[in-house]
Structure 1
Amino acid sequence: MFNLIGYRTLKTAVGAALAIFIAEQLQLDFYVSAGITAILCISVTRKDSLKSSWQRIVACVIGLALASVMFEFIGYHAIVLCALLLLFIPIVVYFNAKKGIVTSTVFMLHLYTLEQVTLGILFNEILLLLIGVGAALLMNTYMPSNEKQMRNTQREIEQCFQKVWYEYARFLRGNITDWSGEELITASKKIDDGLANALKTSDNHIFRHDDYFYHYFKMREKQLEILNRMLPLISTLDHTVVQSQKIAEFMAELSKAVHPGNTAIFYLKQLHELKEALREMELPHSRKEFEVRSELFHLLYEIEIYLTIKKKFKPDPKRN
C-alpha cells in the first residue's frame, strides 16, 4: 500500500492530519490552517523543507505585523486589504521569503475576518504557524534512500562506456561500421538522471555532505564529452596502419576496465609507454601517413585527458 500511494503523499496526509489534530486539541481558532501550512511545507528534500518553513515563518511575522498596524489604524475594509497586499508582497519578495506569501495571506485574512487584533489572536496565529511547520518538519525527517537507484544508474553508464570503447576498438581493427552510437545518447541521459538524484540526496543531508555520486556523475559527464569528441576523429582514421591496431588493443583493454575503482594510474603508464613506442616507429613516408600519424597522436591526447579525469576522482569511501 505504501508503494502504491507514494511516500510523499502519505507524509502530506499524515502531516496535515497531525497538525489539525494538535491545533484542534489546543482549541485554536481556524485550526484547519495548521494543516494547510503543513501541506505547503512538506517538500521533496529536507533542505527545501527547512528553507520553505523558514520563509513562511518570516513572511507570516511580517504579514501579521503589517496587518495589525494597517487594520487597527486605517480600518477593516477591502481597500485596506488591497493596500496591505500591495505593500506586503514586495516586502516579502525583498526578504527572499516569497514561498510564504500564500500562508501569510491566510493568517492576515483571519485578522480581517475577526476585525480585531489582540495578543490572544496573534498568539493563536503564531501557534497555528508553528504547529503546521513543526508537523511538516517531523514528516520530512524520513526520506527514502535512492542509493540503490544511483548505483544502478552507475552500472548502466559504465556498461555504455564499455560498449563505446569496444566499438571504437572494433572500428580501428577492421573498419566495422555497424554500430549506431546509441550508447553515447543513453549514457548522456543516464548521467543527467544520476546528477538529479545525487543533488536530491545531497539536499537531504543537512549536517553532512554525501557527494560521492554527484562527483562521480560529473566525472562521467566530462569523460563523455571526450568520447563524443573522439567519435569523428576515429571515423576518419585508416585502420590498416599498425599504429591504429596498437591503439585499438589499448582501447579494448580500457573497455574491460570501466568501473567505479580507480585504475587510471595503471593505464596512464601504459598509455605513456604506447606513445613512446609509436614515436620510435619508422617515420611516415607520405603525406597521408603523416596525417594519419598526427590524428593518432591527437587521439592518444584525448585518451590521456579521459584517464586524467578519472585519476583525479576520489573512490567511493563505502567500498574502500
Structure 2
Amino acid sequence: MKIGYRTIKTAIGTPIAITLAQLLGVTNYVSAGILTILCIQPSRKRSVLSAWHRFLACTLAIVFSFVFFETIGYNPISVGIMLAFFIPTTVFLKISPGIATSSVIILQLYGAGHISTAFVIEEFLLILVGVGTGLLLNLYMPSLDNELTIKQQKLEENFRTILQEIALYIRDKNQAWDGKELTEAEQILQEANDLVARDRENHLLRNKHPYADYFVMRTKQFALLQRMLPLVTRLPNTVTISEKIACFFEKLADAVHPGNTAILFLDELDELHKAFDQEPLPVTKEEFETRANLFRLLHEIEDYLILKKKFKTSDVKKNKKTGAEQSAT
C-alpha cells in the first residue's frame, strides 16, 4: 500500500494545527485540525487559491452568522435560513470551495449561543492556524520530473513497437501483433498530460514547462499513427516500393527519441516520393489499391515528421564545407 504526499501532509499538519491552536488558547482547538485537513491540496496553485477562498468564506460566515443569529435567534431554523443566503453568495463570489470550511465556523458560532468580540477574534485565530498550516505544508511539492521521464521512455518504446509492426505488415502482412502498445500509449499520454498540468500548478512563476510541448507533440503524432493503421491493414498486396517503405518505417522506429533529427527522415522521404513517382502505373485493381494506400501512408508519416521538426531546434547541423547534414552529438 502506497502512502501519498497528501496523506503524509495531513498526518503531519493536523496535530501541528491543533497544538498551535491550543498554545494560542483557542477554545475549539480541534477545529484547527479539521480546517487543515480541508486545506491540503494536490498542487501549490490550488493550495493558494484554496487558502484564499476558505479565508474569505470563513470571514463571510462570521458576518452572516452575526446578522442572522443575533436577529432571528440561535435555533435550527435560523441556521437553515442563513445557509440559504450564504451558499448562493459564496457561489456568486466564486469562493464556493470554502463552504465546507466556513460551515465549521458557522456551527461553532451557533453552538456558542452568543457572538462576542473575543469569540470572533478566537475564530479568526482558528482560521489563520488551520488554513495557514495547510498552506505552509502545501508549499512543498515533490518534483514530477522523474515520473515524466519514465512516461517519456515508456511512450517512446511503444512508438517504436507500433512503427516496427507497421513495417512488418507492409512487408509480409504480419498479423501476430495484438496492438496492446496502442492502448498503453493512449493511457501514458493521458497520465503524462495530467502530470504536466499538475506540475505546472506547482510552479507558479514558471510559464513554460519542459515536458508540455513534448507530450502535446507526441499526442498529435499518436493520432497520426492511429490514422496510419487502417491504411496499412487495407493493403491487399505488396508492390515494388513496399520494401523500401517498410525499411523506412524500421529506420524511423529505431530513431524514436526525445531529440530532433526529423530533417534527415524528411529528406529520405522526399527520395521515397521520387521513387514512388517513377514506379510503373498499376495494372490490376489490387495494385492500384496498394499504391493508393501507400501513397496516403507516406503523406501521414510526413505530417508525423513535420510535427517532430517543429517541436524543437533540430539536432542536425550542416557541414559548411560539404553541405552534408550530420547528427549533432
Give the TM-score, by structure 2 length. Answer: 0.90
Determine which of 155, 159, 178 is the counterpart of 2:176: 178
Does structure 1 conserve the Cα–Cα contact (< 8 Å) formed by 2:10 and 2:40? yes
> Comparing 56-65 with 72-81, which one deviates more in the overlay?
72-81
Aligned counterparts, 1:263-278, within 5 A: 263-278=261-276
What residue is the counterpart of 1:51 in the other structure? 49
Aligned equivalents of 2:68 and 2:214: distance in 1? 55
What residue is the counterpart of 2:253 in the other structure? 255
Does structure 1 conserve the Cα–Cα contact (< 8 Å) formed by 2:159 and 2:253? yes
Aligned equivalents of 2:241 and 2:306: distance in 1? 22
What is the RMSD computed on CA atoms of the aligned residues? 2.0
Shift of 1:155: 0.8
% identity of equivalent residues:
43
Aligned equivalents of 1:34 and 1:117: distance in 2? 19
Match of 1:212, SS state, is: coil
Aligned counterparts, 1:162-311, within 5 A: 162-311=160-309
For 2:108, the aligned partner's letter is: H
Does structure 2 conserve the Cα–Cα contact (< 8 Å) formed by 1:171 and 1:239? no
Q: Does 1:118 align with 2:104?
A: no
Does structure 2 conserve the Cα–Cα contact (< 8 Å) formed by 1:198 and 1:211? yes
Shift of 1:210: 4.8
Aligned equivalents of 2:245 and 2:292: distance in 1? 13
Q: Which runs of no fewer than 5 residues in structure 2 stay unpaired?
A: 315-328
Aligned equivalents of 1:273 and 1:306: distance in 2? 17
Determine which of 68, 75, 87 is the counterpart of 1:77: 75
Aligned equivalents of 1:190 and 1:122: distance in 2? 50
Aligned counterparts, 1:21-40, within 5 A: 21-40=19-38
For 2:16, the aligned partner's letter is: L
Determine which of 12, 20, 23 is the counterpart of 1:14: 12
Q: Which runs of no fewer than 5 residues in structure 1 stay unpaired?
A: none
For 1:223, the aligned partner's letter is: Q
Aligned equivalents of 1:76 and 1:304: distance in 2? 73
Does structure 1 conserve the Cα–Cα contact (< 8 Å) formed by 2:44 and 2:139? yes
Shift of 1:255: 0.5
Does structure 1 conserve the Cα–Cα contact (< 8 Å) formed by 2:236 and 2:286? no
What residue is the counterpart of 1:149 in the other structure? 147
C-alpha spacing 1:134/1:279, structure 2 compared with 1 (3 Å): same
Counting matched residue pairs gives 315
For 2:11, the aligned partner's letter is: A
Aligned equivalents of 2:282 and 2:136: distance in 1? 72
What residue is the counterpart of 2:96 in the other structure? 98
Aligned equivalents of 2:172 and 2:284: distance in 1? 22
Does structure 1 conserve the Cα–Cα contact (< 8 Å) formed by 2:238 and 2:290? no
